[in-house]
Amino acid sequence: MDIVGKRRIYLSFSGALAAISIIFLLAQNLGLNFGGLNLGIDFISGTAVTYSFESTDDPGPDALRDALGTAGHDEAVVQSLGESRYFVRMTDLGSDGINAVNASLEDSFGSDFSMLDTTTVGRSVADDTIRNAFTAVLVAAVFVMLYIIYAFRSVPYSYRYAIAAVIALMHDVLLVFGLFSVLGILINAEVNAIFIVGILTVIGYSVNDTIVVFDRIRENVRLTPGRAFRSTVNLSIRETFTRSLATSVTTMTVILAMLLFGGSSLRDFLIVLLAGVVVGTYSSIFIAAQILVAWDSAGGLGQFVPRRFRRGSVEAA
């Protein structure tokens, strides 16, 4: 099984997925009518309310949206949670605004509804959340690099392992963001504070899976230093493939069970975890390890540099 020999295919496939993700994430900035992230109130500020109606008087999302428009909130986002419950997100209503909205809903539907939960986030808090989220991801990436450089200090070019792991990590995060841009259109998936927790969990899983492969490469380099590096990487991938796949499948089974039976409140968080396990397993084998081989094959730039510019071409000439 020559996995390394097909690295151009894997890297091209991942590059295409990354490009599609970037297009969806930046679509609205480019003037397109799709894409972007469906940001929750943790990031854009506002008020979120969960309403519950009597099952016999369930108005449906369209009627509820129209009633909120009558109350002066045409921007309101209404999401059905099932069992006659609805999640509504609006601009910041302040301390008295929610009472005015409820009064308007009573005029439209009577009093057969109740508020199960209400959350208000101000602009300054939302700004802090955005800043802290970016800081958390950046700090995680930096510490991952420092740890791998230290842990792999006994092998040549340990910094390559660190950079390859961080590239794979950013690849995973970008693909998850791209997926949520699509899911925001399809199922109104929301990016909120719990989403960032999921992203940090994905980072941890991705790095763990990558280090498993890298550690086997390190051991094989020590055992047979004279073997070609690409052969060592290919052998190491084969030796860890079953373990990585078994770990991922068992993890995905648990997440799928929770996704199917755990209720809607954890849906978006579990989707982040599920997507992270899939792309993290893929990237550790087909991205991070392949970057090492590509880098080694031409003194640092691998297959990304035209042959006439690669190291040794002058001497060969």
Question: What's residue 233's pLDDT?
Answer: 93
Mean pLDDT of 57-83: 82
Supply the pTM of this predicted model: 0.78
The residue that leads in pLDDT, 251 or 78, is: 251
DSSP 39: B
Question: What's residue 202's pLDDT?
Answer: 86
The per-residue b/e assignment along 238-254, b for 16 or more CB within 10 angstroms, e otherwise, is eebeeebeebbeebbee
Mean pLDDT of 245-259: 92
Angle at 82 between CA 250 and CA 188, to 5 degrees: 70
How do strand 77-82 and strand 85-90 relate by DSSP bridges? Answer: antiparallel
Residue 256 contacts residue 267 (beta carbons within 8 Å)? no
Q: Which domains does the chain have, with CATH numbers?
A: 4-30+125-304 (1.20.1640.10), 46-121 (3.30.70.3400)
Residue 118 contacts residue 49 (beta carbons within 8 Å)? yes
Mean pLDDT of 61-76: 84
139-177 confidence digits (pLDDT tens): 888 888 898 889 888 888 889 999 999 999 999 999 999
Residue 190: pLDDT over 90: no
Residue 3: pLDDT over 80: yes
Strongest mean pLDDT among 84-98, 108-122, 215-229, 296-310: 215-229
25-39 confidence digits (pLDDT tens): 888 777 777 778 888
Distance of CA 106 to the CA centre of its chain: 40
Mean pLDDT of the chain: 83
Residue with tokens 């390559």: 160
